Amino acid sequence: MSRPSLLALVLATAVTWPVSGQAATSPADVAAAALRNAPVWDGHNDVPEQLRERRQDILAGFDFADTMNTADPENGKGPMQTDLARLREGKVGAQFWSVYVSAMLNEQQAVQATLEQIDVMKRIIAAHPDEMMYATSSAEVEAARKAGKIASLIGMEGGHSIGSSLGVVRQMYELGARYLTLTHFKNTPWADSATDAPEHDGMTDFGKDLVGEMQRIGMLVDLSHVSPKTMADALDVARAPVIFSHSGAQGVDGHPRNVPDAILDRIKTNGGIVMVNFYPSYVSEDLRQWQASRLGEAARLKSLYPNAPETAEAGMESWISAHPKPVATVAQIADHVEYIAKRIGTDYIGLGGDFDGGSVGVEGMPDVSAYPALFTELARRGFAQDDLEKISSRNMMRVLKAAEAYAGAHAEDPAIESPTAF
């Protein structure tokens, strides 16, 4: 029996929601019309991480309707960037909630911690039935939107969370996880990270089997955080669209967490999506270079004055005064979107803000309420309403439907097996 091609799956699952309303004129009008028709589907938000770090997953007394009073100055934490009020203000209609746990945990600890993160996010969703709806499929996302609720999906950030076990990834899918980021800032035993010394020249055979098994069951393969060789290896074996849940364009900011041009080109062929990230040093090349120079100057001063730390500290203050820290801006986020659009088109772009996980300090994008500002900037640059609707959520819907279609076509395929570790 012949299987449908990847291109056929992508085309067959293209979203054709109706466009309503009168033609808009000003950039703000264009943005507002786009977000009415296709509210934002964000690829990555770290509220579960905040609940773990700030509250040890204790929800008693926690008010997700308004988190503006959650600052903890003694521990260097500002207020959370996400709550129900600001999600509404930001026109967010669907959200992948990241169940990230530290990559410093061993694999068995990471599996347990991930289960706890899935649990706490499910409890948050269940506690707000008038505002949020748990979703595990494209159909459930559509149902949530029709009900006027925020579709809430779960994504796993970091392959250490599966304990190098295909059985565990299958069970995480059963628990509701709909994507897995293959690495975090460290390598896994089977894949290289973008921010660690290479160990595997990309992916091992197990890693490639994992990609195949994830796509067989319908779990999205997320290539944010992985090395370019891991990206290429995953794309070599992928038979359904992949995602970057929160990454920018390396052609705009050279950080290794961003996507190189050669991989962008392959995303177009694959039918996947790059969900542009708002993390400041991934957004602004000037800021990235400044941070590197600051670290270099600090090391130089420490070497010069090992016996006089106060002199080194004064020298550092003088250097910072002479070299003001650049500030990442909403316009620079738009630069990433525009770069990818010019390179491969608007059909392969989404947004993955990384709020409550590191996207702090971008001028014009303080929290989840600010998505309309980005869409207004894009409209000002000439992005049409139809393209803005693709970027906001239609592209992500297409990708998820294509992944589901592929899994449906392979539902009778046997599970890929690997020996247990112990």
Q: Which residues are catalytic?
A: 44, 46, 157, 184, 225, 246, 354
Other beta carbons within 10 angstroms of residue 189's beta carbon come to 15
**Whole-number Å distance between alpha carbons of 180 and 406:** 17
CA dist 196 to 100, 186, 202, 203, 394, Å? 18, 5, 12, 14, 34
CA dihedral of 128, 133, 136, 140, whole degrees rounded to 10 = 170
Angle, CA of 383, 389 and 394, to the nearest 5°: 135
The type of residue at 346 is T
Task: Tell me if 358 sits within 8 A of 279, measured CB to CB.
Answer: yes
